């Protein structure tokens, strides 16, 4: 039996160490649970609907001042945030493990991702550039300028409780915006911790406007109040496709901007020439890591019939032997599911897969890994005769559906035949196959990889997916443009007033 860690005591220690006021997480109306043991670890005060408007108005005032601060100076705040995160990495990473159930190295990895995006955003603060464009009119100059947008609302999911905020906040702040964050109701403590860390950076920065970055605590109703508020210029919402289906139209109704980062149903293709040792490791991490609770988790695997009987038995062996247990203790590679609903969803999908002809390895609850109220499961590998039923949907749990294929055409068609379009991989040493996978007729996902798994993206690239994944892009590359408004400026320095397209309008 795995040693029980007192997560409540440990969470309290960390919150105290990070300087989060006890009044913020004790005695409130909203309970917060740890998936490590299933027990209640804090009681937070929900933000009331009436307060949301005031908070957003204050953020709007802060935006009015912050937009006039030179961008490199705004970058200094994010640089300080990165420093504070470095100093708090061990504590914040452990709190992520306690609240989201990730193994500690993944909790720490999430904080490292926050540090990385801060570094990226600091550089960006000196590179918010526009184009100069040739004009058809003599004595004119045409150019683009990029301006701060306004209040940026962030909605985040439980499974990346801190990194998603930082992806958005670091860029939004250097772009001159104010930020209001509605974290998942399953992971509010890490949000309070991030706010305390940012408050330290703000104190060192000195003269930033009050209310530049705030947190709303509560469930979807609090999120809806933010989504509907006319002073929120952009909502960057990360979560299920169901959530995006509700949030997207509400924003469209008031012509607000959105970045939607929604569900995935990610697949890999293992070709005849694949390095199977490498593929095995990548598949194991992609499918079982984070207990299958990453948006980029590998959920479908197409294996060429010539290597199927070599690879799949080895995979099954890895599934049978992977260590499952308390994520706060060394040795565990798979922690718990977030809650009972996640466990029930997994069992339902496995039942449907079985009914559709699937052969299941694993998937059972692991009784001795945690308390009765926690949901630890052995990841499931399901051999399917065809891609049907639950294989077409994202179930947010560690289920890998494995199917045989004969030709790459067939594999690509099946690969793209789902409604989500987030991440994808091909394992091949054949350059033609790899390039075809990356081409216009290949993977239809926002992320397409060769010889690495579907999960574990770096912050330097733009992150996001197509189709029902929502089409948004966050993080690196030119994702910053979504957090600013673009103005096209034409300046006439001649003594004439020529009209474009040769139009004449002579008022005599």
User: Rule CB under 6 A: is residue 265 a binding residue for ligand NAD?
Assistant: no
Q: CB-based contacts of 48: which residues, under 8 Å, 6+ apart?
A: none
Q: Cβ closer to ligand NAD: 34 or 159?
A: 159
Residues of this chain, 408-427, that bind ligand NAD according to CB under 6 A? 422
Q: Which strand (E) or helix (H) includes residue 295?
A: none
Tokens at residue 27, please? 């005695």
Site string for ligand NAD, 333-372 (x = CB under 6 A): ----------------------------------------
Distance of closest approach, residue 503 Cβ to ligand NAD, in angstroms: 46
Q: Would you please indicate which residues are annotated as catalytic (active-site) residues?
A: 261
Query: What are the backbone angles phi and psi of residue 312, rounded to the nearest 5°?
Result: -65, -40
* Cα–Cα distance measured from residue 333 to residue 326, given in angstroms and rounded to the nearest whole number: 9
Site string for ligand NAD, 456-475 (x = CB under 6 A): ---------x---x------
Binding region for ligand NAD (CB under 6 A) out of 20-28, 74-82, 152-160, 328-336: 152-160
| Cα 173 off chain centre by | 18
Neighbours of 393 (CB within 10 A): 15
CA distances from 188 to 170, 228, 478 (A): 19, 22, 30
Tokens at residue 487, please? 């103005």
Contact residue for ligand NAD among 396, 405, 427, 437 (CB under 6 A): 396
* Cα–Cα distance measured from residue 415 to residue 129, given in angstroms and rounded to the nearest whole number: 38
Residues of this chain, 165-224, that bind ligand NAD according to CB under 6 A? 182, 184-185, 219-220, 223-224
Q: Cβ closer to ligand NAD: 297 or 326?
A: 297
User: Rule CB under 6 A: is residue 258 a binding residue for ligand NAD?
Assistant: no
CA distances from 197 to 151, 192, 201, 309, 473 (A): 21, 9, 7, 51, 26
Q: Cβ closer to ligand NAD: 104 or 394?
A: 394
Distance of closest approach, residue 265 Cβ to ligand NAD, in angstroms: 9
Q: Cβ closer to ligand NAD: 77 or 377?
A: 377
CA distances from 320 to 223, 314, 367 (A): 40, 10, 15
Q: Cβ closer to ligand NAD: 34 or 156?
A: 156
Is residue 101 classed as helix, strand or coil in its secondary structure? coil
Contact residue for ligand NAD among 18, 179, 198, 227 (CB under 6 A): 227
User: Rule CB under 6 A: is residue 110 a binding residue for ligand NAD?
Assistant: no
Q: Total residues at the site for ligand NAD (CB under 6 A)?
A: 30
User: Rule CB under 6 A: is residue 289 a binding residue for ligand NAD?
Assistant: no
Distance of closest approach, residue 296 Cβ to ligand NAD, in angstroms: 8
Quick one: residue 458, left, alpha or beta (phi over 0 = left, psi -120 to 50 = alpha)?
beta
User: Rule CB under 6 A: is residue 56 a binding residue for ligand NAD?
Assistant: no
For residue 152, the cross-strand partners are 179, 234
CA-wise closest residue to 356 among 323, 320, 382, 327 = 382
Distance of closest approach, residue 181 Cβ to ligand NAD, in angstroms: 10
Distance of closest approach, residue 134 Cβ to ligand NAD, in angstroms: 38
Residues 50 and 152 sit within 8 Å (Cβ to Cβ): no
Is residue 145 classed as helix, strand or coil in its secondary structure? strand
* Residue pointed to by tokens 């695997």: 301
User: How many CA within 13 A on the CB side of residue 169?
Assistant: 31
Contact residue for ligand NAD among 34, 236, 238, 449 (CB under 6 A): 238
Contact residue for ligand NAD among 104, 261, 433, 468 (CB under 6 A): 261
Q: Cβ closer to ligand NAD: 10 or 261?
A: 261
Binding site residues, ligand NAD, CB under 6 A:
155-160, 182, 184-185, 219-220, 223-224, 227, 238-240, 243, 246-247, 261-264, 295, 394, 396, 422, 465, 469
């Amino acid at each position: 039996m795995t040693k029980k860690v007192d997560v409540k005591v440990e969470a309290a220690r960390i919150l105290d160490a990070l300087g989060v006021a006890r009044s913020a997480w004790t005695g409130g109306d909203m309970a917060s649970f740890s998936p490590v043991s299933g027990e209640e670890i804090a009681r937070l005060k929900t933000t009331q609907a009436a307060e949301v408007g005031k908070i957003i108005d204050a953020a709007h005032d802060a935006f009015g001042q912050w937009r006039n601060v030179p961008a490199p100076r705004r970058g200094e705040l994010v640089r300080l945030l990165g420093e504070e995160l470095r100093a708090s990495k061990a504590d914040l990473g452990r709190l992520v493990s306690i609240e989201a159930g990730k193994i500690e190295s993944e909790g720490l990895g999430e904080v490292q991702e926050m540090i990385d995006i801060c570094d990226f955003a600091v550089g960006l603060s000196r590179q918010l550039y526009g184009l100069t464009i040739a004009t058809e009119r003599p004595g004119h100059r045409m150019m683009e300028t990029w301006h701060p947008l306004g209040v940026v609302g962030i909605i985040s999911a439980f499974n990346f409780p801190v990194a998603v905020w930082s992806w958005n906040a670091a860029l939004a702040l250097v772009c001159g915006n104010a930020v209001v964050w509605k974290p998942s109701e399953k992971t509010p403590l890490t949000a309070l911790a991030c706010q305390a860390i940012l408050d330290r950076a703000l104190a060192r920065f000195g003269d930033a406007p009050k209310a530049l970055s705030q947190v709303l605590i509560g469930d979807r109703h609090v999120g809806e109040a933010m989504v509907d508020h006319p002073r929120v210029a952009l909502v960057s919402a990360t979560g299920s496709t169901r959530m995006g289906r509700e949030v997207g139209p509400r924003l469209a109704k008031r012509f607000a901007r959105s970045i939607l980062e929604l569900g995935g149903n990610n697949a890999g293709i293992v070709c005849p020439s694949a390095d199977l040792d490498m593929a095995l490791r990548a598949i194991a991490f992609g499918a079982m890591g984070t207990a299958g609770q990453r948006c980029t988790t590998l959920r479908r695997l197409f294996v060429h019939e010539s290597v199927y009987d070599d690879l799949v038995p080895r995979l099954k062996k890895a599934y049978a032997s992977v260590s499952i247990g308390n994520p706060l203790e060394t040795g565990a590679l798979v922690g718990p599911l977030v809650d009972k609903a996640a466990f029930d969803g997994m069992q339902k999908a496995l039942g449907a897969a079985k009914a559709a002809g699937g052969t299941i390895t694993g998937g059972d609850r692991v009784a001795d890994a945690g308390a009765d109220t926690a949901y630890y499961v052995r990841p499931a590998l399901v051999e399917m005769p065809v891609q049907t039923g639950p294989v077409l949907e994202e179930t947010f749990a560690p289920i890998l559906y494995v199917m045989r294929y004969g030709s790459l055409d067939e594999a690509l068609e099946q690969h793209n035949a789902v409604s989500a379009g987030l991440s994808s991989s091909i394992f091949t040493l054949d350059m033609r196959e790899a390039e075809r996978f990356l081409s216009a007729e290949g993977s239809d996902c926002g992320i397409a990889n060769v010889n690495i798994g579907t999960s574990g993206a770096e912050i330097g690239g733009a992150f996001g997916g197509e189709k029902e994944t929502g089409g948004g892009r966050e993080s690196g590359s030119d994702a910053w443009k979504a957090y600013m408004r673009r103005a096209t400026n034409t300046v006439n320095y001649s003594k004439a007033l020529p009209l474009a397209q040769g139009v004449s309008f002579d008022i005599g």
